[in-house]
Amino acid sequence: MDKQIFHAAVIGGGPAGLMAAEVMAKGGLAVTVFERMPSLGRKLLMAGRGGLNITHSEPMERFLSRYGEAADWMAPWLAAFPPEAVRDWCAGLGQPTFVGSSGRVFPDVMKASPLLRAWIRRLEGLGVRFVTRAAWTGWEHGRLRFADGSLHEADAVVLALGGASWPRLGSDGGWAALLPDVGIAKLRPANCGFKVNWSVHFAERFAGTPLKRITLTCGDLTVPGELMITKEGIEGGAVYALSAPAREMIAQHGVAELRVDLRPDVSAETLNARLGGGSESLSNQLRKRAGLSPVAIGLVQEERHGGDVSPLAALVKSLKLRLVEPGGLERAISTAGGIRLNELDGHLMLRRHPGVFAAGEMLDWEAPTGGYLLQACLATGMAAGRGVLAWRDASRPKGG
């Protein structure tokens, strides 16, 4: 290795790793990106199937609050690369963006592949080298070791191996075993579905059916949206938004209780008046007088069969869903847990491993869907890249 040139290695070819590579290459470093899969950015491409929600346009104070306990820690990285800068960066790659009605930001083409292709072209133009099918297995005599037995020497390393969700796309959390002396919070599913003990009849009839225009409440947090009934339970946007508190409730109490308002647009008083009296069947009352869909009626019937004798209006406005287990990491959108934040210095360098930095979902933060996940991966990737440049500058002989 040419000692006159500062060599940096990036382990992981997702958004965080590629952003770190871009920053370092622009700073004059020789950069090699190692990716265990046959191609780069597979999870980014998966996210793009739904339009690639890049970031969000809401005010920064509210934006930061989406990161929960990690908000204060995340603040400087997001301030250094805020949503507006992400949009400018996309435009610089020939992929202008727009703000949707929900405030979410998407590329005009509503796809990830053009952005990824343009990004890789830019990185190649900066001299970044890519090595695919390269599974990192640790260090050997100070050099990076890979599954094929090859070794790579680097002056600095950025670890951007992702969390453990959707492992078939390349991130399986196996890196935790390679950092035995680093504090790592257990990797857990985030933005995930949950198991509900449906009756056989309900599961067979309604699995795959959406429940729309509802609100969901977990504890003191209420969100509007919709959910999808699955054979095992529920998933969908409104569920994902509540997955963190629901997951923690299950961990503490063995069950989490959600409350579903099946008609948030109608008051309890109005429903009570509509549903009082009459000789119609339960199903007809709920369909004709409460305007419920078949799946919503099925949920009310599930509760009635389970022994809930609350008035119909009360069930419609506050139906209980008992979540007994989070969905698995293999279907979760993202991961909670990771390298504890106190294991990192102000440049995202591992305190126990000088010259080794970390970024993206490897770190112990989580956020809901809505652009916050990708935004944080890009911002921490940039921070890690800048951290390596600072490390390079500090490592230079004085007066050199």
Are the C-beta atoms of 242 and 258 separated by less than 8 Å?
yes
Q: 61 and 185 share a domain?
A: yes
Question: Within a domain: residue 1?
Answer: no
Q: 286 and 358 share a domain?
A: no
Instruction: Using pLDDT thresholds of 50, 70 and 90, give the confidence band for residue 384.
Output: very high
Instruction: Using pLDDT thresholds of 50, 70 and 90, give the confidence band for residue 48.
Output: confident
Range of the domain at 276: 194-326
pLDDT at 204 over 90: yes
In tens, the pLDDT along 246-265 reads 999 999 999 999 999 999 99
pLDDT the model gives residue 4:
79
Are the C-beta atoms of 163 and 188 separated by less than 8 Å?
no
In tens, the pLDDT along 102-116 reads 999 999 999 999 999
Q: 183 and 201 share a domain?
A: no
2-16, 123-137, 270-284: which has the minimum mean pLDDT?
A: 270-284
CA dihedral of residues 99, 246, 341, 84 (deg, nearest 10): 10
In tens, the pLDDT along 279-301 reads 788 899 999 999 999 999 999 99
Compute the distance between CA of residue 23 and CA of residue 385 in angstroms, rounded to an integer. 5
pLDDT the model gives residue 395:
85
pLDDT the model gives residue 400:
44
Tell which of 300, 326, 352 closes a domain.
326
Compute the distance between CA of residue 46 and CA of residue 54 in angstroms, rounded to an integer. 13
Q: In which residue are the tokens 């830019």 written?
A: 122
Element (H, E) at 297: helix 294-305
Pairing of strands 210-218, 221-229: antiparallel
pLDDT at 1 over 70: no
Compute the distance between CA of residue 127 and CA of residue 113 in angstroms, rounded to an integer. 21
Q: 185 and 198 share a domain?
A: no
Question: Within a domain: residue 292?
Answer: yes
Q: In which residue are the tokens 């809930």 written?
A: 308
Q: 200 and 346 share a domain?
A: no
- Residues in CB range of 271: below 8 A, 6 or more apart: 263, 290, 312, 313, 316, 317
Question: Within a domain: residue 225?
Answer: yes
Question: Within a domain: residue 376?
Answer: yes
Instruction: Using pLDDT thresholds of 50, 70 and 90, give the confidence band for residue 3.
Output: low
Amino acid occupying residue 11: I
Tell which of 326, 360, 383 closes a domain.
326
Compute the distance between CA of residue 241 and CA of residue 256 in angstroms, rounded to an integer. 14
Are the C-beta atoms of 223 and 240 separated by less than 8 Å?
no
Q: 384 and 264 share a domain?
A: no
Instruction: Using pLDDT thresholds of 50, 70 and 90, give the confidence band for residue 399.
Output: low
pTM of the model: 0.92
Question: Within a domain: residue 332?
Answer: no
Are the C-beta atoms of 323 and 238 separated by less than 8 Å?
no
Domain count across the chain: 2
Residue-wise DSSP of 99-135: E-TTSEEEETT--SHHHHHHHHHHHHHTT-EEEES--
Q: 357 and 383 share a domain?
A: yes
CATH of the domain at 139: 3.50.50.60
Q: 15 and 159 share a domain?
A: yes
CA torsion sign, 298 to 303 to 307 to 311?
negative
Q: 251 and 203 share a domain?
A: yes
pLDDT the model gives residue 50:
77
Are the C-beta atoms of 214 and 258 separated by less than 8 Å?
no
Tell which of 279, 303, 326 closes a domain.
326
Assigned token pair, 139: 């260090």
Q: 367 and 261 share a domain?
A: no
Question: Within a domain: residue 278?
Answer: yes
Q: How far apart are the first and last CA of the chain?
A: 20
pLDDT at 141 over 70: yes
Q: 69 and 181 share a domain?
A: yes
Report which DSSP code applies to 285: I
Q: 121 and 237 share a domain?
A: no
- Report the candidate in 355, 375, 357 with the shortest Cα–Cα distance to residue 365: 375
CA dihedral of residues 64, 377, 384, 120 (deg, nearest 10): -140
The chain-wide mean pLDDT, for the chain, equals 95
Residue 372: φ, ψ to 5°: -70, -35
pLDDT the model gives residue 280:
82
Q: How many CB atoms lie within 10 A of CB 208?
A: 8
Compute the distance between CA of residue 6 and CA of residue 24 in angstroms, rounded to an integer. 10
